[in-house]
Amino acid sequence: MPCFGIQSRMFLIIVGLAQVGIAGKPNFIVIVTDDQSWVGSSVAMKPDDPRSRSDYYVTPNMERLARMGMRFTQGYSPAASCCPTRRALQTGQCPARHEYNADRQGWTDSYRQQLNIPRMLKAADDQYVTAHFGKWDHRYDEITPSKQGYDFSDGYTGNETGGSKGSGGPASTPDPKRIDSITDQALHFIARNHYQKKPFYLQVSHYAVHLDIFYNESSLQEARQRAPGRKHTMPEFAAMTRDMDAGIGRILDKLEEIEILESTWLILLSDNGGRTSIPKAPRAQEDLNAPLRDGKHSFYEGGIRVPFFVLGPGVKPGGVSDVPVSGVDILPTLAELAGYANPLPENIDGGSLLEVLQNEGVGSVRRRWPFLVFHQGVDRKVLSAIRFGQYKLVKTWENERLELFDLSRDLGETNDLSQDMKSKADELHNLLQGYLSKVNADTLPRRK
The single-letter code of the amino acid at 442 is: D
Instruction: Give, for 108, the enclosing helix (H) or strand (E).
Output: helix 107-113
Give pLDDT, residue 446: 61
Domain boundaries, the chain: 6-357, 381-438
Cα–Cα nearest to 88, from 313, 400, 306, 338 = 306
DSSP lists the bridge partners of residue 75 as 325
The single-letter code of the amino acid at 421 is: M
CB 321 within 8 A of CB 72: yes
Give pLDDT, residue 13: 43
Task: Output phi, psi for 385, to 5 deg.
Answer: -150, 155
What's the length of the chain? 448
209 prior amide bond cis, ω within 30? yes
Rounded Cα distance, 390 and 396, in Å: 20
DSSP readout, 23-92? T---EEEEEEESS--TTSSSS-SSTT-GGGS-SS---HHHHHHHHHSEEETTEE-SSSSHHHHHHHHHHT
Rounded Cα distance, 79 and 96, in Å: 9
Cα–Cα nearest to 211, from 183, 234, 186 = 234
Rounded Cα distance, 375 and 299, in Å: 8
For residue 300, the SS3 value is coil
Rounded Cα distance, 347 and 339, in Å: 20
Give pLDDT, residue 213: 98
pTM beyond 0.85: the answer is yes
Give pLDDT, residue 8: 43
Give pLDDT, residue 15: 44
Instruction: State the fold for domain 381-438.
Output: Arylsulfatase, C-terminal domain (3.30.1120)
Rg (CA), the chain: 21
Dihedral angle of Cα 414, 417, 419, 422, to the nearest 10 degrees: -150
Rounded Cα distance, 211 and 167, in Å: 9
Reading the chain (448 residues) residue by residue, the pLDDT tens digits are 344 343 444 444 444 443 443 348 999 999 999 999 999 999 999 999 999 999 999 999 999 999 999 999 999 999 999 999 999 999 999 999 986 555 557 778 888 889 999 999 999 999 999 999 999 999 877 899 999 999 999 999 999 999 999 999 999 999 999 999 999 999 999 999 999 999 999 999 999 999 999 999 999 999 999 999 999 999 999 999 999 999 999 999 999 999 999 999 999 999 999 999 999 999 999 999 999 999 999 999 999 999 999 999 999 999 999 999 999 999 999 999 999 999 999 999 999 999 999 999 999 999 999 999 999 987 778 999 999 999 999 999 999 999 999 999 999 999 999 999 999 999 999 999 999 999 988 887 765 4
Multiple choice CATH, 6-357, 3.40.50.720, 1.10.10.10, 3.40.720.10, 3.40.50.300: 3.40.720.10
Residue 126 vs residues 122, 129, 151, 345, 371: alpha-carbon distances, Å: 4, 8, 12, 20, 33
